[in-house]
């Protein structure tokens, strides 16, 4: 949503693409209770957005994951373009964790809930823990994956920030592997605070999944550190 309002003034094609795919997704929500049709539509929207922005995406390591598997994907966060890049180029059933305020918007909130996305309260620690539990249950019950940006927000300077433990917590509770993902180049496409995007290349580097079988929540700090180290390694050539 923030991405849409950021780019809406840059290219009217974004308006047309968003209206078209948004309408299709809303129509699907009337009878698609699994949310899969809405996610497929969102993936097409993401790909159209990348084409409009003339972003060339290269994916490395896609063979390391099972398209039918369930994972927690943990990626560095540089730009509003990060989500469309991941959504449009990693072919798994994704759900996202989004700000709770978006779910309170009439029509949009209902749509997000039906698609299976998860609201995140930003100022209530106890509710945040419940959200992590709900995310883990969603993965187990639906056999789907969740994308998380462990930095908690976009990097202003482009440097990798410290990671929060939420991604590790969810992966351990759900009993699924966590997959470190390095995004390279999205900040050059649309930097934080900018309303202007530039065409160019983006690379998505996928690490081998890290198993969580046998781990307990006591291991979440060590797992978080491992995930960050993997992403640092993947970014090492930049």
pLDDT computed for residue 73 by the predictor: 96
User: Do the domain assignments include residue 48?
Assistant: no
Token pair listed for 119: 């609201």
pLDDT in tens, 52-87: 888 999 999 999 999 999 999 999 998 888 888 998
| 101-149-130 Cα angle (round to 5) | 55
Show the domain range for 108.
Answer: 56-234
pLDDT computed for residue 124 by the predictor: 64
The structural domain count of the chain equals 1
Cβ atoms of residues 171 and 72 within 8 Å:
yes
pLDDT computed for residue 211 by the predictor: 97
User: Do the domain assignments include residue 9?
Assistant: no
pLDDT in tens, 156-170: 778 899 999 999 999
User: Do the domain assignments include residue 15?
Assistant: no
User: Do the domain assignments include residue 151?
Assistant: yes
Predicted confidence (pLDDT) at residue 122 exceeds the cutoff of 80: no
User: Do the domain assignments include residue 5?
Assistant: no
Q: How many CA atoms lie within 13 A of 172 on its CB side?
A: 16
Which of residues 7 and 234 earns the better pLDDT score? 234
pLDDT computed for residue 5 by the predictor: 45
Q: Strands 178-184, 94-99: parallel, antiparallel or unpaired by DSSP?
A: unpaired
Cβ atoms of residues 178 and 168 within 8 Å:
yes
User: Do the domain assignments include residue 7?
Assistant: no
pLDDT computed for residue 153 by the predictor: 80
85: nearest Cα among 197, 225, 227, 226: 197
- At 174, phi and psi to the nearest 5? -80, -20
CATH of the domain at 89: 3.40.1130.10
User: Do the domain assignments include residue 34?
Assistant: no
User: Do the domain assignments include residue 165?
Assistant: yes
């Amino acid at each position: 949503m923030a991405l849409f309002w950021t780019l809406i003034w840059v290219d009217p094609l974004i308006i047309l693409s968003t209206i078209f795919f948004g309408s299709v997704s809303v129509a699907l929500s009337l009878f698609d209770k699994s949310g899969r049709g809405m996610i497929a539509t969102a993936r097409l929207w993401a790909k159209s957005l990348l084409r409009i922005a003339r972003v060339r995406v290269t994916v490395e390591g896609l063979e390391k994951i099972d398209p039918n598997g369930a994972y927690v994907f943990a990626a560095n966060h540089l730009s509003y373009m990060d989500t469309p890049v991941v959504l449009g180029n990693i072919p798994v059933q994704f759900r996202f964790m989004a700000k709770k305020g978006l779910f309170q918007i009439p029509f949009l909130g209902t749509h997000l809930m039906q698609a299976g996305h998860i609201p995140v309260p930003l100022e209530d620690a106890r509710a945040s823990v419940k959200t992590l539990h709900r995310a883990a249950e969603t993965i187990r019950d639906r056999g789907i994956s969740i994308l998380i940006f462990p930095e908690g927000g976009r990097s202003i300077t482009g440097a990798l920030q410290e990671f929060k433990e939420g991604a590790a917590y969810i992966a351990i509770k759900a009993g699924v592997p966590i997959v470190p993902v390095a995004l390279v180049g999205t900040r050059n496409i649309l930097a934080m605070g900018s309303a202007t995007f530039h065409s160019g290349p983006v690379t998505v580097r996928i690490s081998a999944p890290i198993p969580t079988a046998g781990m307990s929540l006591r291991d979440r700090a060590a797992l978080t550190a491992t995930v960050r180290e993997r992403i640092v390694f993947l970014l090492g050539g930049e």
